[in-house]
Amino acid sequence: MQRKFLTNLALLLSLNLLIKPFWILGIDRSVQNIVGVEDYGFYFALFNFSFLFNILLDFGITNFNNKNIAQHNHLLNKYFSSIVIMKLILAVVYFIVTFSFGLIIGYNPEQLKLLALVGFNQFLLSFILYLRSNISGLLLFKTDSFLSVLDRVLMIIICSVLLWGNVTKTTFRIEWFVYAQTAAYVLTALIALSIVIKKAAFKKLKWNYPFFIMIIKQSFPFAVLVLLMTFYNRVDTVLIERILPGSLGDQQSGVYAQAYRLLDASNMIAFLFAILLLPIFSRMIKMKESVEQIVKLSFTLLITISVIVGIGSCFCNFELMELLYPAHADETIIIYLERIHQSGSVFILIILGFIPISTTYVFGTLLTANGSLKALNFITASGMLVSLCLNFILIPKLLALGSAYASVSSQYITAIVQVIVVQYIFKFRINYRYLLVLLVFVIGVILINIFSKQLHFNWMTNFILMVATSFILAFSLKLLNIKAIIGIIKKS
């Protein structure tokens, strides 16, 4: 399983590192720079609001399906024919609830119109993820890897034409960005659907009420987990936009979105680990195989990357923000520098959250695969409550920076508790030498960054030297072992 994990991780990372950084840093960033901070903040808050009720589109079915198909491949045809109908019914419920709450919190007609478009995209994305859960559950990781980037490739093509193709006479509008996502999701869903239909030997949809009730009951713990994690990860900008008065809410949501973009790009790496680990953990646990080595392997790879990225980005926070976000045409230099200062300050806290997020993607995924959802839901609910309380206290005082404090605090708390719970359940041998090496590595990366800031080169050159030196340190401490990794891949 370690060989399967490493070879497919290499493919998945290669494809995603080729495509998604350009989407996030090229297309998405360009859209924000063209439409402006307030308009993008307006969209970003609505986008995250639509995520809050995403559970109603899925009800935990995707995680439940991934785990069960990985353990029982023969159930694909039985599950697929009924779950598709369930997804359509849940979509209707999602739209009713989302619009109801949108009206309750006071969204105006313009906001509701955009919410309808964003909500439809959420349905398409949820359906794609469900289809991919069947493919990854069959351990067809290569096919899933290509599907994981297909929507972004299509969006890049469409948005590139709209942004730089001179095919329109008016300035790019945020609605066009949403339309491009819709077109890309529709095409990706159709391709994924055709693959699953072939693998499932599907003939026709079957409505089975007892099966519907059974799936809802079994997936309910997954649904609660997804709901809690969604609120936990997406509520920040919604609270910023709603708590702060007038245009200040949109402006600060835009500042938060600027700082969040690089975390979003980094988070892509950790999420790919989780996609591979859930079916692998599930299969190994069912076969009563030890997961200790693959947990250590995946965590070591991910924590090495997250520490280098997280700490290194902190030391270049303002430089990165200036690189990504030039001044707008109607912005004075004072207003621009204030915006960069705000987003840079928020970014320091947000990017440090990449370390606990990476930890959660390994240990939280293991708890999910083990069926320890009661414990995981309690941990996530506690983290969400901590985040909500801190947001309500800090946003009025510190604006977007207050939300960043709330986010990073809750992330570290939940990550630490998850590690403790995994140790309690699986009784892994506590490797004190390994923990000491991790501590030395973190301190070493901090010192390397301090030293690199003193070099009289361009900051980009200093950053590249810092990354290279940090990886050399990781190899020196044997956190990363090329021979061991090659040996695992060569094993048949």
- Read off the pLDDT of residues 418-456 as tens digits, 9 standing for 90 and up: 999 999 999 898 889 999 999 999 999 999 999 998 988
Question: For tokens 């990354």, what's the residue?
Answer: 467
What is the residue-wise DSSP string for 166-220? ---SS---HHHHHHHHHHHHHHHHHHHHHHHHHHTT-------HHHHHHHHHHHH
- Read off the pLDDT of residues 286-345 as tens digits, 9 standing for 90 and up: 888 888 888 888 899 899 999 999 999 999 999 999 988 888 777 788 888 888 999 999
**Taking 60 as the threshold, does the pLDDT of residue 488 lie above it?**
no
pLDDT band per the 50, 70, 90 thresholds, residue 114: confident
Please say whether the beta carbons of 47 and 168 come within 8 A.
Answer: no
Give start and end residues of each alpha helix (H) in 200-316.
209-243, 246-286, 292-315
State the pLDDT at residue 135.
81
State the pLDDT at residue 491.
44
State the pLDDT at residue 268.
76
Structure tokens at 291: 């997961």
Structure tokens at 125: 């994305």
State the pLDDT at residue 480.
80
Structure tokens at 253: 């949501």
Please say whether the beta carbons of 76 and 197 come within 8 A.
Answer: no
State the pLDDT at residue 489.
47
Helix axes 246-286, 37-52, angle to 10 degrees: 40
Kindly provide the b/e burial profile for residues 252-280, where b requires at least 16 CB atoms within 10 angstroms of the residue's own CB: bbbbbbbbbbbbebbbbbbebbbbbbbbb
- Read off the pLDDT of residues 30-78 as tens digits, 9 standing for 90 and up: 888 888 777 887 788 788 888 777 778 877 777 676 666 666 666 676 6
Q: Where are the domains of the chain?
A: 2-429
**Taking 70 as the threshold, does the pLDDT of residue 12 lie above it?**
no
Backbone angles phi, psi at 212, to 5 degrees: -55, -50
- Read off the pLDDT of residues 343-373 as tens digits, 9 standing for 90 and up: 999 999 999 999 999 999 899 989 988 888 8
What is the residue-wise DSSP string for 90-115? HHHHHHHHHHHHHHHTT--HHHHHHH
pLDDT greater at residue 366 or residue 171:
366
CA end-to-end span of the chain: 10
> What is the spatial distance between Cα 343 and Cα 418, in angstroms, rounded to a whole number?
30
Q: Kindly report each contact of residues 107-112 with a partner whose C-beta sits within 8 Å and lies 24 or more positions away, as own/partner.
A: 107/46, 111/42, 111/46
Residues 133, 134, 135, 138: is their CA dihedral positive or negative? positive
Radius of gyration of the chain (CA): 22
> What is the spatial distance between Cα 378 and Cα 343, in angstroms, rounded to a whole number?
32
CB-CB neighbours of 143 under 10 Å: 15
> What is the spatial distance between Cα 481 and Cα 474, in angstroms, rounded to a whole number?
9
**Taking 50 as the threshold, does the pLDDT of residue 180 lie above it?**
yes
pTM, whole model, 2 decimals? 0.73
State the pLDDT at residue 265.
78
- Read off the pLDDT of residues 194-205 as tens digits, 9 standing for 90 and up: 888 877 666 667
**Taking 80 as the threshold, does the pLDDT of residue 388 lie above it?**
yes
- Read off the pLDDT of residues 213-240 as tens digits, 9 standing for 90 and up: 777 777 777 677 766 776 666 778 778 8
- Read off the pLDDT of residues 240-281 as tens digits, 9 standing for 90 and up: 888 888 788 888 888 888 888 888 878 877 877 777 788 788
pLDDT greater at residue 104 or residue 311:
311
> What is the spatial distance between Cα 384 and Cα 406, in angstroms, rounded to a whole number?
10
Q: Quick one: how far is CA 285 from the chain centroid?
A: 25
**Taking 80 as the threshold, does the pLDDT of residue 14 lie above it?**
no
> What is the spatial distance between Cα 470 and Cα 442, in angstroms, rounded to a whole number?
9
State the pLDDT at residue 492.
35
State the pLDDT at residue 75.
63
Among residues 273, 2, 385, 380, which one has the least CA distance to residue 372?
Answer: 380
> What is the spatial distance between Cα 344 and Cα 348, in angstroms, rounded to a whole number?
6
Give the containing element (helix H, strand E) for 147: helix 141-164
